[in-house]
Amino acid sequence: MEYIRDETIGWLVYKARYMLKKQMQNKLKDYNISSEQWSVINMIHMKKGCNQKTLAELCLKDGATITRILNILENKKLVKRENSPYDKREFLVYLTDKGRNLYNEALKVVFQNTQEINSIFSVSELEQLEYLLNKLISNLE
């Protein structure tokens, strides 16, 4: 039996993820943020004041990667880290006013991009794709 990389589910999921990420990168370049930075900004917006460890878990990043991304976002004055009032060893992460403005502006582009991608499929195909991907994820956890 010959191994054909282009036909494996893992390769197809990887290729789709790569292409989706590349498309998002192009859409976000005017905002001077990467798709990874966007995912962190989006999660901070949704989970205001969460700690770095939780943020890393929610964004599917390791601790070093989330620290690197937060350092970049902090240098761009998009996020701020504050000491937790409950545990001085942890930082809580918030968007700055500049970060909230960027989020609100970029959200329009992200939403439009999502609509473009979704328009490839019918409603039933989207539901089936979501079901199948969730089934795959739950069996890999």
Please give the domain boundaries of the chain with CATH numbers for all domains.
5-140 (1.10.10.10)
Q: Please give the chain's pLDDT, 141 residues, in tens.
A: 566 666 788 888 999 999 999 999 999 999 999 999 999 999 999 999 999 999 999 999 999 999 999 999 999 999 999 988 888 888 899 999 999 999 999 999 999 999 999 999 999 999 999 999 999 999 998
Rounded to the nearest 10°, the torsion over CA 55, 60, 63, 67 is -60
Separation CA 94–CA 48 (nearest Å): 6
Q: State the pLDDT at residue 6.
A: 63
Question: Which residue type is seen at 107?
Answer: L
50: region left, alpha or beta (phi > 0 left; psi from -120 to 50 alpha): beta
Separation CA 31–CA 19 (nearest Å): 20
How much is the pTM? 0.86
Q: 103-113: per-residue pLDDT in tens?
A: 999 999 999 99
How many CB atoms within 10 Å of residue 109?
15
Q: State the pLDDT at residue 94.
A: 97
Q: State the pLDDT at residue 1.
A: 56
